[in-house]
Amino acid sequence: MQNNSAKKSLPKYRQIEEELRYKILFGHWKPGHQILTEMELCEQYNVSRITIRKAINELENAGYLVRQSGKGTFVTEWQDSLEERPVLKSFTNEMHALGKKAITIDVELAVTEADRIMAGILNIPEGHSIIQLKRVRAIEGGVIIGYSINTFPFTRDFSTNPDDYYASFYEYLGQFDIFFTSALDYLEAMLPPAEVAEKLRIAPSEPVLKSVKISHSTDRLFTEYNICYYVGREYRYYVKY
């Protein structure tokens, strides 16, 4: 999820759209669930009906919601349209496949407690300790490619020293026999929030590609939540059919 400063940089309808999208993606609203009426959402968010309609239209166009005349607005079977990756690559391996060497130029690490939403995402109890790992990723030579925020359950096995997370995160988890074999993710183009633009060292007017991904370990006992912002002019996303 985005932090408060990032949210404030988005138009109000986009802020509401993102909050509603999270309710759908992370199971608070199930497929077939009827969402609140436009008037109820207006009262909840203290905005105009035009703003709510724009947010709902965006989610409808993206395939998450469907309006039924005379009945209301319902959550679709949105999972059917999301890509599930059978084999996951780390940023390090992704760059290696392109003939480039990935490096990390900055790491921030914090141990905090999972709120209700994050607990639902990671399938852990509310208040459980989690690690939030923020890293600026680049290729050898210093060209910055992305800014990633990885959030995952904390155990005593995991280091809280930022220096231990400069290499591949997936390889680090592999030391504990944690391997990701499936994920659900979506991509969207956007202008960077202020914090992101600063980390990527780009202008606020330069577009980025935002990736939001939930990855599951082979045994489905470990879940990782990742948001990554890629510099649009430096990153290409390849899909094989």
Per-residue pLDDT at 1: 47
Query: Does domain 4-80 correspond to CATH entry 1.10.10.10?
Result: yes
- Identify the residue with better confidence: 45 or 83: 45
Of the given ranges (1-10, 106-115, 182-191), which has the lowest mean pLDDT?
1-10
Confidence of residue 116 (pLDDT cuts 50, 70, 90): confident
**Half-sphere exposure (Cβ direction) of 134: Cα atoms closer than 13 Å:** 12
State the pTM of this model: 0.68
Residues of the chain with CATH 3.40.1410.10: 83-231
Give the amino acid at 29: W
Residues of the chain with CATH 1.10.10.10: 4-80
* Residue whose token pair is 């319902």: 74
Q: Please state which of the four CATH numbers 2.40.50.140, 3.40.720.10, 3.60.21.10, 3.40.1410.10 is assigned to the domain occupying 83-231.
A: 3.40.1410.10
Q: What is the pLDDT of residues 144-197, one digit of tens each?
A: 999 999 999 999 999 999 999 998 898 899 899 998 877 777 888 889 999 999
SS3 assignment, position 83: strand
Residues ≥6 apart with Cβ < 8 Å to 141: none
